[in-house]
């Protein structure tokens, strides 16, 4: 191969191959009839689509944009929705039995009455989802979101996410501990004491003595804060108590 041919080949190899376009015939079929079982709708643009009661059983909607679409009562049984955007979508009463929602964006989606039996939700974004079944979702995902909210000083949101963890895994000691810290930052000392004491009990039951001691130490410090802090309420009280317990607390919470 001469230099000119080699250069041309190299250039051709660097040209990006365009992503496969959506199947426009299937998109039109869905919009017109709301009947599209086993259709190929991957990467389809369906923002704000009105699809109430649509039949999309086993359809391929991987990577589709269904943000704020109305899918109330739709049949999405066995549908492939991996990586799809369903941000703010109305999925109330939808059938999602066995659907693959791994990596899907379900933030702010309406899920009241949705049947998520055997649905895959690995790495799905569920923050702010409304009406989510207490059995749906991974508790560790909610824990991670809670910690992220705490790092941003959004303690109300952190508490909401810790609550979601505890609905799914009532013996999640770290969630009680994290919720205690968030409550403390908001000035709820009684709630923080309850959570730290319960976290300590759970840590002990789970054989985590060092963590149990840390939680117990925090509870005692909240009950008997340094004299110069006793009169201070909220707005820094929590942070001053945390500084007393030390870096171990932060390592425990933000593992």
The whole-number pLDDT of residue 18 equals 47
CATH class assigned to 35-137: mainly beta
| Fold category of 139-253 in CATH | 1.25.40
Residue with tokens 């991974």: 138
Contact call for residues 206 and 183 (beta carbons, < 8 A):
no
Q: Calculate the alpha carbon distances from 70 to 25, 87, 91, 130, 192 in Å.
A: 21, 11, 7, 14, 41
Query: Residue 31 corresponds to which tokens in the numbers above?
Result: 């919009």
Q: In the structure, what pLDDT confidence band is assigned to residue 227 with cuts at 50, 70 and 90?
A: low
User: Among 237, 217, 220, 219, which residue's Cα sits nearest to residue 228?
Assistant: 237
Find the helix or strand (DSSP H, E) in which 22 lies: none
What pTM value is reported for the model?
A: 0.67
Q: How do residues 113-162 score in pLDDT, each as one tens digit? A: 999 988 998 888 888 889 988 878 889 888 888 888 888 889 998 998 89
The percentage of residues in the chain with a pLDDT greater than 90, rounded to a whole number, is 54
d(CA 57, CA 14): 39
The whole-number pLDDT of residue 20 equals 54
Better-scored residue on pLDDT, 89 or 18? 89
* Torsion of Cα atoms, 187 then 142 then 200 then 193, to 10°: 10
Q: Where are the domains of the chain?
A: 35-137, 139-253
Q: How do residues 49-106 score in pLDDT, each as one tens digit? A: 999 999 999 999 999 999 999 999 999 999 999 999 999 999 999 999 999 999 999 9
């Amino acid at each position: 191969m001469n230099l000119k041919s080699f250069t041309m080949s190299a250039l051709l190899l660097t040209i990006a191959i365009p992503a496969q376009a959506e199947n426009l015939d299937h998109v039109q079929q869905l919009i017109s009839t709301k009947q599209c079982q086993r259709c190929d709708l991957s990467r389809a643009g369906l923002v704000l689509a009105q699809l109430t009661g649509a039949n999309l059983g086993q359809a391929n909607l991987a990577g589709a944009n269904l943000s704020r679409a109305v899918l109330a009562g739709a049949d999405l049984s066995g549908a492939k929705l991996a990586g799809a955007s369903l941000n703010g979508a109305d999925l109330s009463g939808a059938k999602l039995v066995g659907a693959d929602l791994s990596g899907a964006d379900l933030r702010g989606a309406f899920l009241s009455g949705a049947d998520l039996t055997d649905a895959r939700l690995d790495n799905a974004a569920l923050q702010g989802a409304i009406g989510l079944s207490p059995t749906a979702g991974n508790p560790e995902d909610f824990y991670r979101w809670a910690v992220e909210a705490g790092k941003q000083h959004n303690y109300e949101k952190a508490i909401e996410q810790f609550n979601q963890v505890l609905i799914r895994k009532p013996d999640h000691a770290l969630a009680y501990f994290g919720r205690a810290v968030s409550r403390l930052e908001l000035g709820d000392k009684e709630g923080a004491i309850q959570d730290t004491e319960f976290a300590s009990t759970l840590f002990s039951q789970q054989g985590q003595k060092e963590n149990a001691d840390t939680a117990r130490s925090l509870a005692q410090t909240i009950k008997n804060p340094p004299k110069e802090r006793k009169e201070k309420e909220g707005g820094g009280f929590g942070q001053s108590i945390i500084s007393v317990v030390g870096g171990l607390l932060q390592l425990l919470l933000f593992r």
